[in-house]
Chains A and B, each alone.
Chain A
Amino acid sequence: MDLIAPTRAAFRLLFSGDAELWHIIWTSLYCSLIAIALITPPAVALGFVIARAAFPGRRAIVVLVQALLSFPTVVVGLTIYMLLSRHGPLGFLQLLFTPEAIIIAYMVIAFPVMVVFTLAAVQAADPRVFETARGLGAGRLRASWTTLVEVRFGIMAAVFNGFGRVISEVGAAIIVGGNIAGLTRNMPTAIALETSKGEFAQGIALGFVLITLALAINAALSVLQGEGGLK
């Protein structure tokens, strides 16, 4: 297979400002960023609570969240499809095959990743953080916030890993988004489609963007953790 020609074509597409290609990139970023922004507060809150609090069922929640990590994303997609389909319990929302459906799927997929990373970060926090805050008169909420701020690099790792998980997700996005050009087609689904058609240029271009994003995320995390590692 000739790799040079499609790679050249891919870079031409990227740098010529091809509208279809950039819309696909935009859809991916839009769905991923909105999903992460929406799911971060509950995921971080749950991760914090199960790291800090002792309550009946805590262990079961930890096991469930850890199990969800390995849950196939196509099954997540199928479940959300059934919920959002016309005759499903949430069919009246008419969200199937829209970017919002993809956002919901992404939120479900990112949630356990972010909970587990937050849980690990908070469990690794110095126990004196919460106690010092409380001892200086902070209420439980402020002391909890202070703890999260102290482990902010771990929380950033949770956010970045959640983002990394959904930006490259293909199974659920195809099922609930339908891979509709100009609406729900995103980078991974476009790569899958173009490759199946034997059209490699757009796939290579999008793959290049995905890899660049992955590198940028990891570089940013590494820089930030470098700062945190100075503690």
Chain B
Amino acid sequence: MSGVAVALNGVRKSFGKRVVLDDIDLPLAAGGSFVVTGDNGSGKTTLLRILAGLEPAQSGSLQVDGVSLALADYPDSMRRRIVYVHQHPYLFHTSIADNIAYGLNARGDARAHREHQVREAIGWAGVGHLLQVRPDKLSGGEKQRVALARAKVLNPTVLLLDEPTANLDAEGRHQVVTLIEKLHDAEATVVIACHDKELIGLPGMHRLQLDRGKLR
């Protein structure tokens, strides 16, 4: 690990009077793997969603490439560098390949480059045999793998995975854990919110405990 890829500073988030995140500082080392644990409702998902710019915070800033940005001014371009994968990923009602290509299309990548990247991502996630299957017919594990491919294809600086193995059967869980292990070889910083002991125990994983609004 070297340097800080992205850092959250002074993040505060509350729902009504309930403070979920209380002045959180979270420096994420480039290429590092982190797992955020905590009780249900402790704010793990909220933390990831704030980091991805999908949820507003009352205060706080995001530091990227030495530049500090107020979270309130989260730029669209950052969403291509910090990608969030939902616990129950939504796959668009189009082909698997088009789902994987979505972010590249949004980024305006050239077609040839896009197709090459998508082919690589399909191979990486091992979903080549699913290309003719409608997304709504995929199992939970298969959807999660397609969603991982869709996120990884963007070569994000930070990949945020929210409970990626929750509610999966043994086979699906095994396949997703294998993919997450493969992410160690990628350059991305990976942050996983979960309770999964297997994920927590993966080699090189740094554990962060979220407890009563504080990271410990």
Contacts and interface: CB of A to CB of B under 8 A. Distances in A.
A134 interface: yes
Contact of A133 (B53, B89, B93, B102): B102
Most buried by B among A132, A133, A138, A142: A132
A198 interface: no
B92 A150 contact: yes
Interface string B84-122: 101011101100000000110011000000000000000
B87 to A, nearest CB: 10
A224 interface: no
Contact of A139 (B86, B88, B106, B134): B106
A43 B102 CA distance: 27
Interface stretch (A61-69, A123-131, A186-194): A123-131
Contact of A136 (B88, B134, B136, B154): B154
B98 to A, nearest CB: 11
Contact of A137 (B86, B89, B92, B154): B154
A142 B52 CA distance: 18
Interface in B122-151: 134, 136, 150-151
Interface in B50-102: 52-54, 76-77, 79-80, 83-84, 86, 88-90, 92-93, 102
A183 to B, nearest CB: 44
Contacts of A137: 76-77, 79-80, 83, 103, 106-107, 154
A174 to B, nearest CB: 43
A131 B154 CA distance: 17
A197 interface: no
Closest 3 CB pairs of A and B: A137-B80, A128-B90, A136-B103
Interface of A: 126, 128-129, 131-139, 142, 146, 149-150, 228, 230-231
Interface of B: 52-54, 76-77, 79-80, 83-84, 86, 88-90, 92-93, 102-103, 106-107, 134, 136, 150-151, 154
